[in-house]
Amino acid sequence: MRRLSIVRDLVKLSSIFVIAVCVGPTAVSAQDDARILPLDQGLTLARTMVDGGPHVLAVVRDAGETVTAVDLSVALAIYPSQPLDLFAGTSLSELVKLVGDAVSSGQAFDLAKSDLIRPLDTRGQHVATAVNYPAHAVEAGAPPRQPFLFAKFAPGGPSVAQAANTPGGLLDYEVELGVVVDRPIASAADLDDAVIGFVLVTDMTDRYSLVGNLYPGVVKSDAGVASLAIAKSAPDRMQMANYVVVPFDRSAFQDQVEIRLAVNGETRQQERVSSMTEDADALIRRSLTAEERRNFSYRGAPIRLLPRGAWEPGMVLLTGTPSGTAFRAPAPPDDPAAMSAADIRAAVEAWADSQRAAGTYLKVGDRIDASGTYLGSIQVEIVPIAGDVN
């Protein structure tokens, strides 16, 4: 009965919210409504700088160039560096009611979307997922199977960013659903009590580095995990949209989300998150198993998937990418053991030449546009690496 009462309250609150915004100074179109998760389903959080410090906002409207928001930092007198820190003393239901009341009383305000900053302060090490979408596994030369996890080292860039194309590299694009947590998670029980947020991310990969460091090995191996970490790690290899979305029902939320990526206006990736082999909760639980707690090698040094043995605020789980990437894996050799170092290098270069000829990898001057249902958008411009005059 209590749960039904809460649901009724939230539905009523959602109705109040819609009425309050529509009678305000700027009417909300159906298109604007579709950009933000409805209040009866959860909160959309963002950050902006005020007097030199970050404020956490609840976004209630996205009109493209502007957003309408409630300043939760002011309302709660809390100014956290991580938006999910708001849940330390306040429940999601309480925050939703606070936002609805603020909108009804005229406390929501408009600001330029360009005034939003990165949605959270990130750590340097994250966890990424390979072959979690069956169609992408096939296009990458890996039959559908259980996805696997590996470390990614990147600070997490803003929603409008640049990425450098290394000379001779094969820079590839990926759009992914990212996951963040409000507290350390060292066990399945911790996950049950945690607040989970979702953020749109892009994942950039140098496929030449990946294949060059691995071929003719197997990607799902310790060597493959290390090669993936190297190929996907750099200061500009991950960007984040402006929003952290916290739904009441994260399974139902993932069922609604579609993620998309276009290069120079041409759609390359578009798929529903529900196509994933393992959802966010399953990936987090598996990352805590003994198998995933072993040490890996990264640039000659031992590392752990979770540096302190637990998920921590500021870490991002990248849940995998749909089909449509530029990457096509090289054909496996008939007899890998018989290949000399020169044979391997020749095979890698022949494969790289064929990939460049396909014309689908990123080039200087290209623009990436990524978006996701309720998750906002990312724009990335591909630029020459510093010092490259070509």
**DSSP code per residue over 342-381:** HHHHHHHHHHHHHHHHHT-S--TT-EEEEEETTTEEEEEE
Distances (CA, A) of 317 to 31, 145, 370: 29, 19, 18
Residue 335 has phi, psi (to 5 degrees) of -140, 85
Q: Which of 175-184, 312-321, 339-348 has the lowest mean pLDDT?
A: 339-348
Domain ranges of the chain: 24-115, 125-384
List pLDDT tens digits, range 135-150. 998 888 876 668 989 9
Give the burial string for 111-145 (b: 16+ CB within 10 Å, else e): bebebbbbbbbbeebbbbbbbbbbebbebbebeee
The whole-model pTM stands at 0.88
The pLDDT assigned to 214 comes to: 80
List pLDDT tens digits, range 223-277. 667 788 888 998 899 999 999 999 999 999 999 999 999 999 999 999 999 999 9
pLDDT at 23 over 60: no
- Residues listed for the chain: 390
List pLDDT tens digits, range 305-320. 999 999 999 999 999 9
CATH superfamily for domain 125-384: Fumarylacetoacetase-like, C-terminal domain (3.90.850.10)
The pLDDT confidence band at residue 16, using thresholds 50, 70 and 90, is very low
Secondary structure class of 227 (helix, strand, coil): helix
C-alpha to C-alpha distance for 57 and 68, rounded to whole angstroms:
9
Task: Classify the phi-psi angles of 196: left when phi > 0, otherwise alpha if psi is within -120 to 50, otherwise beta.
Answer: beta
Task: Classify the phi-psi angles of 51: left when phi > 0, otherwise alpha if psi is within -120 to 50, otherwise beta.
Answer: left
pLDDT at 152 over 70: yes
pLDDT at 20 over 70: no
pLDDT at 371 over 80: yes
Distances (CA, A) of 321 to 134, 141, 200, 243, 337: 10, 14, 11, 19, 32
